[in-house]
Amino acid sequence: MPESRKRKKDVYSPQSSSGPKKAVRLDSPRWLPIVMVACWIIGIAWIVAWYMLPIGFLQDLGSWNVLIGFAFLSIGFILATRWR
């Protein structure tokens, strides 16, 4: 049985770039975990304060307090996905 022709493989040579490559920084900024935890605490505290404490401006907002609390929790979760 005849053999098929073998393909010639080109030798891999990376393209030269001008100058040395800069290192990619993979760590998170220092403020990120602080803001992340602060958003979680503020979100939980906002919802708990609305249910437990009869504060005037919290009662005026009504059910919007749940949305505000979950918005803070969501921002904290989004920041948690960016943390390395």
pLDDT tens digit sequence for 65-80? 999 999 999 999 999 9
Q: What is the pTM of this model?
A: 0.68
Q: 11-25: per-residue pLDDT in tens?
A: 666 666 666 777 777
Residue 69 burial (CB < 10 Å; 0-12/13-18/19+)?
buried
DSSP state of 13: -
Given a cut of 80, is residue 58 above it in pLDDT? Answer: yes
**Burial state string for 29-50 with b = 16 or more CB within 10 A and e = fewer than 16:** eeeeeeebeebbebbeebbeeb
For the cut 70, the answer to whether the pLDDT of residue 49 exceeds it is yes
**Section 29-35 average pLDDT:** 95
